[in-house]
Amino acid sequence: MAILKIARMGHPVLRAVAAPVADPTAPEIQQLIRDMTETLADSGGVGLAATQVHVPLRLLIFHVPASRSGTGADMPLRALINPVLTPIGEEQVTGWEGCLSVPGLRGTVPRYTKIRLTALDAEGAAIDEILEGFPARVLQHEADHLDGRLYPSRVENFSSFGYNEELDRYPMDII
């Protein structure tokens, strides 16, 4: 296992459109998932895309604590390979986001409230499920990474974009 270096905004790997994973069960993919899991645990985030650790492949990991899952239960960490997200309905909600590749900052971003997720899991089995609320937001953020997109490019109102320390000191409502 290894803690991997996380690319920061400005590095070209974060602008790359990632390539599909050919074989989710390949040893190098399994090793990457283990290393990304350790990297995410070390960093304290909720999600990490392979592009953020300089690997331009369509793979991400995420987890959601019970306090934010919407169901009251923890969503344990899982890997999603070649994920495809499809919005269900038009409804969007604006909420706070931060990113390990844009350290120290957060901003407000509109995301679809409800999405359908299709992907392969770490064993190569098909996933097909519906996600809502914060888990849906996390997935949209992480899937954007696989298309070379960072959340600041989706911020619509920059008056709520700022440093965590200042926003913690001067809390503001989402506008």
Name the residues that contact Ni ion, by CB under 5 A: 99
Residue 124 Cβ, how far from Ni ion at the closest point, in Å? 25
- For Ni ion, the closer CB: 80 or 99: 99
> Is 120 in contact with 127 (CB distance < 8 Å)?
yes
Query: Which tokens belong to 107?
Result: 């901003």
For 68, residues 6+ apart whose C-beta sits below 8 A from its C-beta are 46, 134, 135
Q: Is the CB of 33 or the CB of 99 nearer to Ni ion?
A: 99
Instruction: Kindly state the smallest distance separating residue 98's Cβ from Ni ion, in Å.
Output: 8
Q: Which residues form the catalytic set?
A: 142
> Which residue is closest to Ni ion by CB?
99
Residue 109 beta carbon to Ni ion: minimum distance, rounded to whole angstroms: 11
Least distance in angstroms from the C-beta of 157 to Ni ion: 19
Cβ proximity to Ni ion, 5 vs 73, nearer residue? 5
41's tokens: 């645990």
Token reading at 11: 């590095």
Residue 16 Cα distances to 36, 59, 108, angstroms: 18, 13, 23
With residues binned 3-state (H G I as helix, E B as strand, rest as coil), the percentages for the chain, rounded to 5, are 30, 30, 35
Instruction: Please say which residue, 48 or 120, places its beta carbon nearer to Ni ion.
Output: 48
What CA–CA distance (Å, rounded) separates 167 from 160?
Answer: 9
